[in-house]
Structures are given as structure tokens and as C-alpha cells.
Amino acid sequence: MWVMGIPVRMALHTYRYKEPPCLHCHFVIFIYILCISILFLFLFIFSVLLILLNRHSIQMDLRAKHSLGLLDQLRKMRETEKLTDVVLVAEGISFPCHRVVLSAFSPYFRVMFTCGLRECSTREVFLRDTPADSLGLLLNYMYCSELPLNNANVQGVSVAAFLLQMDEVFNHCQSHMRENMDASNCLGVYYFSRDLGAEELADHAQRYLRTHFVQVCMSEEILELEAHQLGALLSSDDLNVSREETILDVVLRWVRQDTPGDGMEDRRSRHLVELLRKVRFALVAPDYLREAMKRNMSLLADAECLEMMEEALEATGMHPASSPRKLKLRYGMETTDLLLCIGNEGGGIRSRYGNYSERSFCYAPSTGRTHYITSPRYGDVLGFVCAGVVTEGNEIVVAGEAGVRKMARQTNRNVEIFRHRVEAQGTWEHLSSAEYRDSYALGALGDTIYLLGGQMKLKNQYLITNSVERWSLQGGPWHSAAPLPIPLAYHSVVRLKNRLYVLGGRTPQSWRMDDEPDRLSNRLLEYDPETNKWTELGPMKYSKYRCGAVALNGEIYVMGGIGCEGVDHGQSRRCLDAVEIYNPDGNFWRDGPTMPSPQLSLRSNASNAAVVGGKLYVCGYYKGADRHEDIIKDILELDPWENRWTVVACRVLMHDAYDVCLVASLNPRELMSPPADLVTQ
Ligand SMILES: *[C@@H]1O[C@H](CO)[C@@H](O)[C@H](O)[C@H]1NC(C)=O
Ligand SMILES: *[C@@H]1O[C@H](CO)[C@@H](O)[C@H](O)[C@H]1NC(C)=O
Ligand SMILES: *[C@@H]1O[C@H](CO)[C@@H](O)[C@H](O)[C@H]1NC(C)=O
Ligand SMILES: *[C@@H]1O[C@H](CO)[C@@H](O)[C@H](O)[C@H]1NC(C)=O
């Protein structure tokens, strides 16, 4: 008896002796065979596909050859005027060609030649609104598939393509215009595309001209606008101008464009009053206005103009402090220095819909308003933010370790560097990774960022390092810079006059055992990127860390923190209310105005202070004596000339422990306002 080709007795026999692990062996063999057969199947399918593809491509080759041959013959016949059955005439120039080719490319001609109109039979067709050179280019395109577009011919070609309903060419022209848009041609493109009903291109051009309005005002193109066009443009709130003077200037320039010799002076100056009404005079500096009146005397001789300007001057004279805040500002005027309390640790504020960790608190000292900026998202790529810096070029950069999910996928930990991108809806872009460490400081000089000191984990031991790594925002590898004179972690870094200053922090006791507690540093170290050298300067009165540190008026201010007086020999530490100020010219420290209470920054890794408009701000802190869980979410201001701390905002809606306080110039219109359902915890 046979079962599946095996004698039954044998099968029983083997079955009886089969140990359970052997079942497993059979299974493995089965899988093995299955894999091999699947592999063969794939190989088979693959080769069949290859053969088919090959045949297909041979067919394609034949077809391409065929159509090229046809095109070539048609082109020759057009050149030699063989079998041409129609002559297009534009601006008096004749273009003999073939009806069938025209109809193949243009629905306009197809209808014309097939619907029994008069043109069906006449030999000559006059195209009235089409420039001859544009028509020539379109015919070349039909016969040779070539369309050499440039900024000089693109408008003519697109009008012709539009009239002849050649959609493909029209779209091609639009992309050309979009890609070659600049301040000198965007106005033209805008009005042109709007007139043709090319909405998308018109919107794009409008956005472009608004964001580049300062450059657009300097172009010749703006002088060619008609009065009503200029007027409509100048009414917009969305112009990216930082000074209203730009608007006044462009009005005066536009009106002056008519030289008396042309005899057209009346025509433009007739619109002066109407255009001056678009200027928001209250935003123009009175001195500038006076100067403009003096220098454009003849132009502004009109009684109504003078009256308008006198009124504007009077208004500013009456309320010299009348705040421009109440006025409608244009987009560019709202750009301002903001305090950014960036982090992705959500505790402390909640909206009705859950934690508010995807937004970070921003405060505008100039208006006292609160805004929110997108947080670097916690989780996928980035874990908690550890440090941050704003470069001189206003790039907002933060650093942190990789998020848990990313960490699970990779073997070595890194420091991940991210940059905020206003132009991409405020998303954060990953820039680079550096060797892992924590409790480091992040600095920036020019567009180079510096990773200074920190704790590294080596052979299961934390080791405070003195290494300094730098990386250019332009890209490339990381480079080592001169190491810090002492290993440091939890230190502060400040940029002042193209130097970096490192102060405070924790440093290991080299003369003791490893497990001895770290000592606090009172040293001030200066780094010069030119010589790549560190210099030690005069020490602070206190050894400390977790303090705020900023540069203001050429000096360095260090506020609060935990520390002890003098060099740290292990004496007891306390929370400080001291403010120490360093003067680099004289290399000395002096006492600043004491803080309202002893305090330390909310996070140990980065500063909670920053400078806006010549004043110093501290954004939230732990009010600490022995216990420091008392979180105060106030914003303190120090005017260095008054030498006194004031509270400018109380109980603001910031997170309990944001990561880093920075200052960047941003436009609040790009940011989010606090949602109505935001609640403090
Ligand atoms: C506004 O104009 C300024 C200077 O002209 C420019 O730096 C800035 O990028 C512009 N803003 C936008 C959103 O394009
Ligand atoms: C008119 O005033 C503006 C603003 O002060 C100035 O820039 C311009 O040069 C003046 N025009 C003439 C012709 O002086
Ligand atoms: C909100 O954050 C707190 C503290 O960070 C946390 O305990 C809580 O689970 C979070 N809630 C939600 C809904 O994520
Ligand atoms: C400092 O940063 C590290 C990550 O590098 C973080 O684990 C730690 O909690 C931070 N310390 C404080 C007090 O925020």
C-alpha cells in the first residue's frame, strides 16, 4: 500500500520514530522548498516581463521613428511650400502652412476649418490679435516640437496660445513665467495672467509681489501701472514693507514719472490726491514727511495735497506718542523680535482637546501680545529639546536627542539638530546629527553652530567632556574646534561681538575619585573663532549653574542660578538672586540689580533669559530657596538704564518646563494665536 508515494509501513515506521523536533525540521525544509519555488516563479515572471518590455520598446522605437519621419516631411513641405493649403497672416506677414497640421494642434483652427465658415474655403486667414513673431514660434512648435521660450517672448506666445486654444503650450508658458518670476516682472505677470483668467498664476504672482514689494517699488515696472492699478495695490494690508515711507516714495516717484516736456504732467498729477490717500501718514515719520514736502515742493503744490500732509503732521504733533499699534499695519511692519519659549514638554497648559505640547509660547514685548509657534514635534524624530540658538541670520536652531521611535531603529545615539522653517508652515527640518552627549551648550557665530562640552556616556560611565564640535549651516561634516580649557556640563554660552563666552556649569574634580560630586565653576571663558583659541577671563563672584545669561549693550548679564560664593570647595549651595555683569573692555565684573527673588531657570540645560529692544527679559522661573518646585510664570523686564526689575506679564500661558528661551525676528501673522479653549493647569 502506498500513501503519497511512500510505502505505508515505512511511513508508519518513520512516523513512529519521528521526534517532535523533527516535525520542525520538516517544516523548515518545506519552507525552504517553498522559498526556492517562489524564487523561480519570480525569475520566470521577471524574464517574461523583460521580453515583453523589450518587444514593447522596439515597438516604441518604431513608432517614434515613424512620427519623427512624418514631422520631418511636413517640415520640409512647409519650407518648400508644397501642398500648403492655407496662409496665415499676422501683422502683414504671411505664413503658408497646412490646415491639417494646424487643426491637429489647435481646436481653434479645427473648428474654423471644419465648421463650414468662410475660412474653410479662403486661402488667406488674417489673425488680428496675434503678433507675427509669436505666431512664428507657435508654428515652429507645431512642425518641429521646439519652443524656445524666454522672458521677452513668453507673454506674446502665451497670448497666442491662449487665443488658439493650445492648452499645452499655454500651461508651459505659465510654468516658465512662474519659474522666472522676479521683482522686475511680477507685476506684469500678475495683471497679464489675471486678464487671461489664469487664476493660479495670478495668485502666485500676487503673493510674490506682496512679499517682495520693497524690490518691486524700485523696479521700472511699477511706474508703468495705471493710477487705479497702483491705487488698488497700495490699499493692501499684505504688503511686506517695514516702513510706510516706501509707499509714500513710490507714489511720488510714480507721479513724477511724467516729465513736463511730455505735456502729460497734468495726467499723472491729476491722480496725486487719490494716491496719497492710500499712504498711511500716521505711520510715516514726521521728519521724513517734512523733508519729502520740502524736496517735492513743486509736485505737492496742489492745495488739497498740502492740506492732507499738514493734517497728518498736525495729528502726529498732537499725539506724539499716539501708538501706531491701533493703526492698521502692513504685513512687513508687524515683523518684530519675539521671545520664544521653545519646548515640546507639554505640561502646564492644556486646551480642552488635550495637552498643548505641539505649540510653544511666544511673547512680543513690543505689543505685549502672546502667540504660539509650532514646537519641534516630540516623538518620531526628536525627543525633548535640550538647547537652542538663533544665528545672526535669524535661523532658529534647536538640538535634542532622537525621539524614542527613532532611537529604537538605530544603534548609536546622536545629538539631532533641527531648524525652524517659517516658509514651510513653521515645520522643523532636520539638519544634522552629532556624536551623542547631553547637558551641553549650543552657540552660534555667523552661520556656524557650536556644540560645547556636555556629558558623554563612555563604558557605562558619565564623563563630562571639554570637546567642542562645530558645523556650518551650509552643510558639510562636523569639525572639532579647540577644546574648552576645563570639562563642563550645564554651563551657559553667550555670543558677543563675534566671540563666544562660556560661564558657570559643572566640572569634575580631577584630583578626586570619579564618584565625588562635581564642582560648580565660576570661570568665564572666551572663544575667538579667528584664532580658534580659548582665553580665561576674570571669574564671577559666585560658582553656579542653572542661571540665565545674555549679552546686552556690550556686556554679559548673569542672573540667578544655584551656587556658592567664590571657588567651590564643596561648601553649601543656595539659590541666588544675584545679578553679575561682566564688562569685556575692562575685564571686570560688577553687581547688577538684584532679582525680585532667588531663582533658577526652569530647565537645567538652557537659559530662560533673552534680550529684545535693548531690554532684558526673564521668562518664567523656579522661585527657589530650599525647595524649588514653585513655578512662577511671570515675565520680568530689566531696563539697563533704570536698573530695576519690573513684571511685565503675569501668569502667562507658557509650559511648566519649556526647554530654551530664544529671541528671533518673526511675523506674528505667521504664528498662531492662543486658542479660546486654552486653560492653565
Ligand atoms: C519681507 O521682506 C524682507 C526684506 O525685504 C525679507 O527679508 C523677508 O523675507 C520678506 N518676508 C517674506 C515672508 O517673504
Ligand atoms: C521727494 O521726496 C522723497 C522723500 O523725501 C525723496 O526721496 C525724493 O528725492 C524727493 N524728490 C525730489 C525730486 O527731490
Ligand atoms: C498631558 O501631559 C501630562 C504631563 O505632561 C501627562 O501626565 C498627561 O498624561 C498628558 N495628557 C495627554 C492627554 O496627553
Ligand atoms: C537636560 O537635558 C536632558 C536631555 O539631554 C534631559 O534628559 C534632562 O531632563 C534635562 N534636564 C532638565 C532639568 O530639564
Q: Which atom of ligand 1 is nearest to the CA of 667?
A: 13
For the ranges 296-300, 354-358, 397-401, 625-629, which has the lowest average pLDDT? 625-629
Q: Which atom of ligand 1 is nearest to the CA of 215?
A: 5
Beta strands in 137-241 (DSSP E): none
Q: Of 564, 559, 560, 543, nearest to 611 (Cα)?
A: 559
Going by their DSSP bridges, the two strands 660-666 and 336-342 should be labelled as antiparallel
Average pLDDT over residues 248-275: 78
Please give the Cα distance from 659 to 84 (Å, whole number). Answer: 76
510: which 3 cell numbers? 580631577
CATH number of 451's domain: 2.120.10.80
For the ranges 471-485, 585-599, 654-668, which has the lowest average pLDDT? 654-668
Q: Is 593 inside any structural domain?
A: yes
- Asked if 501 and 576 sit in the same domain, the reply is yes
- Does any ligand 2 atom lie closer than 6 A to the CB of residue 249? yes
Name the residue with the closest Cα to ligand 3, atom 11. Answer: 355
Residue pLDDT, tens place only, 14-43: 334 344 455 566 777 778 888 788 888 888
- Burial (Cβ within 10 Å: 0-12, 13-18, ≥19) of residue 5: exposed
Residue 379 belongs to domain spanning: 335-670
- Asked if 395 and 530 sit in the same domain, the reply is yes
- Asked if 467 and 343 sit in the same domain, the reply is yes
Mean pLDDT value across the chain:
86
Q: Are 132 and 93 in contact (CB under 8 A)?
A: yes
Rounded CA Rg of the chain = 37
- Give the confidence band of 482 by pLDDT, cuts at 50, 70, 90: very high
Residue type, 336: T
- Does any ligand 1 atom lie closer than 6 A to the CB of residue 269? no
- Give the model's pLDDT for residue 3: 37
- Give the model's pLDDT for residue 321: 53
Q: Is 417 inside any structural domain?
A: yes
- Where are the alpha helices (H) located in 4-86, listed in sequence order? 8-17, 20-79
Residue pLDDT, tens place only, 368-390: 999 999 988 776 667 788 899 99
Q: Is 496 inside any structural domain?
A: yes
Q: Are 571 and 522 in contact (CB under 8 A)?
A: no
Q: Which atom of ligand 4 is nearest to the CA of 659?
A: 14
Going by their DSSP bridges, the two strands 468-472 and 448-452 should be labelled as antiparallel
- Asked if 93 and 73 sit in the same domain, the reply is no
- Give the confidence band of 623 by pLDDT, cuts at 50, 70, 90: confident
Q: Are 97 and 136 in contact (CB under 8 A)?
A: no
Please give the Cα distance from 411 to 400 (Å, whole number). Answer: 17
Q: Of 536, 546, 530, nearest to 502 (Cα)?
A: 536
Considering only residues 577 and 344, tell me which one the structure prediction assigns the higher pLDDT.
577
Domain limit, last residue, from 55, 79, 103 = 79
CATH number of 266's domain: 1.25.40.420
Taking the CB of residue 7, how many other CB atoms lie within 10 A of it?
11
- Asked if 61 and 159 sit in the same domain, the reply is no
Considering only residues 344 and 534, tell me which one the structure prediction assigns the higher pLDDT.
534
Question: Taking each helix axis from N to C terminus, what angle separates 245-256 and 286-295, rounded to the nearest 10 degrees?
Answer: 10
Asked whether the predicted pLDDT for residue 632 surpasses 90, the reply is: no
Q: How many domains would you assign to the chain?
A: 4
Closest ligand to residue 346's CA: 3
- Give the model's pLDDT for residue 13: 39
Residue 556, CA atoms < 13 Å, CB-side half-sphere: 31
The 8-class DSSP code of residue 675 comes to P
Average pLDDT over residues 441-468: 91
**% of the chain exceeding 90 in pLDDT:** 56
* 481 phi and psi angles, rounded to 5 deg: -110, 175
Helix, strand, coil distribution of the chain in percent, nearest 5: 35, 30, 35
Please give the Cα distance from 21 to 159 (Å, whole number). Answer: 80
Residue pLDDT, tens place only, 427-446: 899 999 998 888 999 999 99
Whose grid coordinates read 533669559? Answer: 609
Closest ligand to residue 292's CA: 2
Between the CA of 240 and the centroid of ligand 1 the distance, in Å, is 6
- Give the confidence band of 511 by pLDDT, cuts at 50, 70, 90: low
CATH number of 124's domain: 3.30.710.10
Whose grid coordinates read 496675434? Answer: 130
- Does any ligand 1 atom lie closer than 6 A to the CB of residue 246? no
Going by their DSSP bridges, the two strands 542-545 and 519-520 should be labelled as unpaired
- Asked if 424 and 485 sit in the same domain, the reply is yes
- Does any ligand 4 atom lie closer than 6 A to the CB of residue 659? no
Q: Are 241 and 247 in contact (CB under 8 A)?
A: yes
Average pLDDT over residues 231-259: 91
- Asked if 343 and 480 sit in the same domain, the reply is yes
- Does any ligand 1 atom lie closer than 6 A to the CB of residue 240? yes
321: left (phi over 0), alpha (psi -120 to 50) or beta: alpha
Q: Are 123 and 87 in contact (CB under 8 A)?
A: yes
- Give the model's pLDDT for residue 525: 97
Q: Is 402 inside any structural domain?
A: yes
Asked whether the predicted pLDDT for residue 471 surpasses 90, the reply is: yes
Going by their DSSP bridges, the two strands 492-496 and 499-503 should be labelled as antiparallel
- Asked if 586 and 610 sit in the same domain, the reply is yes
Please give the Cα distance from 390 to 388 (Å, whole number). Answer: 7
**% of the chain exceeding 70 in pLDDT:** 89
- Asked if 72 and 97 sit in the same domain, the reply is no
Asked whether the predicted pLDDT for residue 12 surpasses 50, the reply is: no
Average pLDDT over residues 314-339: 76
Q: Of 512, 509, 576, nearest to 544 (Cα)?
A: 576
Q: Is 625 inside any structural domain?
A: yes
Domain limit, last residue, from 79, 96, 111 = 79
- Give the model's pLDDT for residue 642: 93
Domain limit, last residue, from 121, 154, 180 = 180
Strand partners, 442: 451
- Give the confidence band of 629 by pLDDT, cuts at 50, 70, 90: low
Residue pLDDT, tens place only, 135-192: 999 999 999 989 999 999 999 999 999 999 999 999 999 999 999 999 999 999 999 9
- Give the confidence band of 349 by pLDDT, cuts at 50, 70, 90: confident
- Asked if 21 and 128 sit in the same domain, the reply is no
Q: How far is CA 401 from CA 346, 409, 412, 471, in A?
A: 17, 14, 11, 17
pTM of the predicted structure, to 2 decimals = 0.76
Please give the Cα distance from 136 to 327 (Å, whole number). Answer: 54
Residue type, 113: F
- Asked if 428 and 528 sit in the same domain, the reply is yes
Name the residue with the closest Cα to ligand 2, atom 2. Answer: 292
- Give the model's pLDDT for residue 224: 92
Average pLDDT over residues 92-118: 91
Q: Which atom of ligand 4 is nearest to the CA of 384?
A: 4
Residue pLDDT, tens place only, 564-600: 999 998 889 999 999 999 999 999 999 999 999 888 8
Q: How far is CA 348 from CA 57, 279, 355, 360, in A?
A: 64, 45, 9, 12
- Where are the alpha helices (H) located in 237-334, listed in sequence order? 245-256, 265-269, 272-276, 286-295, 303-318
Average pLDDT over residues 316-339: 75
- Asked if 653 and 541 sit in the same domain, the reply is yes
- Give the model's pLDDT for residue 19: 47
Highest-pLDDT range among 108-117, 412-421, 488-497 = 488-497
Please give the Cα distance from 243 to 292 (Å, whole number). Answer: 15
Q: Is 571 inside any structural domain?
A: yes
Q: How far is CA 380 from CA 334, 361, 376, in A?
A: 34, 22, 10
Average pLDDT over residues 253-273: 73
59's CB contacts (< 8 A; 6+ apart) are: none
The 8-class DSSP code of residue 298 comes to T
Name the residue with the closest Cα to ligand 1, atom 12. Answer: 211
Euclidean distance between the first and the last CA atom of the chain, given in angstroms as a whole number = 81
Q: Is 498 inside any structural domain?
A: yes
The 8-class DSSP code of residue 651 comes to S
Angle among Cα 554, 559, 563 to the nearest 5 degrees reads: 130
Name the residue with the closest Cα to ligand 1, atom 14. Answer: 211
Site to substitute for ligand 3 among 355, 659, 679, most atoms within 8 A of C-beta: 355
- Does any ligand 3 atom lie closer than 6 A to the CB of residue 354? yes
Site to substitute for ligand 4 among 341, 386, 437, 601, most atoms within 8 A of C-beta: 386
Asked whether the predicted pLDDT for residue 550 surpasses 80, the reply is: yes
Q: Which atom of ligand 3 is nearest to the CA of 345?
A: 5
Site to substitute for ligand 2 among 295, 297, 300, 313, most atoms within 8 A of C-beta: 295
Closest ligand to residue 348's CA: 3
Average pLDDT over residues 411-419: 85
Q: Is 206 inside any structural domain?
A: no
Asked whether the predicted pLDDT for residue 284 surpasses 50, the reply is: yes
Q: Are 431 and 418 in contact (CB under 8 A)?
A: yes
- Give the confidence band of 358 by pLDDT, cuts at 50, 70, 90: confident
Q: DSSP per residue over 585-642, as a string?
A: TTTEEEE-PPPSS-EE-SSSSS--EEEETTEEEEEEEEE-SS----EEEEEEEEETTT
